[in-house]
């Protein structure tokens, strides 16, 4: 189950009511791959630029939620997750109750009952080990450490 919230005024809310089908994309590390990083460039030159990526698609059915108690719980959980590593984490309880209630009136909750997950990835897995090492080194040099870490080197 995915849980989120949207502004009540968001035009998408009307489309989500009534059990609409939904597609949610989760994008992972991604980066441009220069053909100059391939060892095979020096051997035969048959290389082109590309893009490495990781993505997950979640498909499911939506439910729009107007219940203030559900919204408060969702906002509190989201805030706790986002604030927990801060030196002075903010909590919903830090704001006046009437202010929080007014803010909640401006949003609706959304649940998506996920019935299908599909992952796609292109991380130079089709290249030789030498080319993959070159891509990983190039990505690290360009500051794309997460993308480099996904390349299979064995």
What pLDDT is attached to residue 154?
85
What pLDDT is attached to residue 34?
98
Domain that holds residue 19: 2-150
Number of domains in the chain: 1
Helix intervals (H) in the chain:
12-16, 40-43, 68-83, 97-104, 129-141, 145-149
**Which CATH number does the domain housing residue 35 bear?**
2.30.110.10
What pLDDT is attached to residue 142?
98
- The CA radius of gyration of the chain, in Å to the nearest whole number, is 22
What pLDDT is attached to residue 79?
96
Those residues of the chain that have pLDDT short of 50 are none
Cα separation of 13 and 11, whole Å? 5
How does pLDDT run across 31-65, given as a tens digit for each residue? 999 999 999 999 999 999 999 999 999 999 999 99
């Amino acid at each position: 189950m995915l849980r989120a919230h949207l502004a009540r005024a968001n035009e998408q809310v009307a489309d989500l009511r009534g059990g609409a089908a939904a597609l949610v994309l989760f994008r992972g590390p991604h980066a441009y791959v220069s053909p100059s990083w391939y060892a095979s460039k020096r051997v035969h030159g048959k290389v082109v630029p590309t893009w490495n990526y990781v993505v997950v698609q979640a498909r499911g059915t939506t439910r729009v939620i107007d219940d203030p108690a559900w919204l408060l719980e969702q906002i509190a959980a989201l805030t706790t997750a986002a604030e927990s590593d801060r030196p002075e984490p903010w909590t919903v309880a830090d704001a006046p109750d009437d202010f929080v209630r007014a803010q909640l009136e401006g949003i609706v909750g959304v649940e998506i009952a996920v019935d299908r997950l599909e992952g796609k990835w292109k991380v130079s897995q089709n290249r030789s080990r030498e080319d993959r090492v070159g891509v990983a080194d190039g990505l690290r040099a360009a500051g794309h450490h997460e993308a480099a870490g996904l390349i299979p080197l064995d």
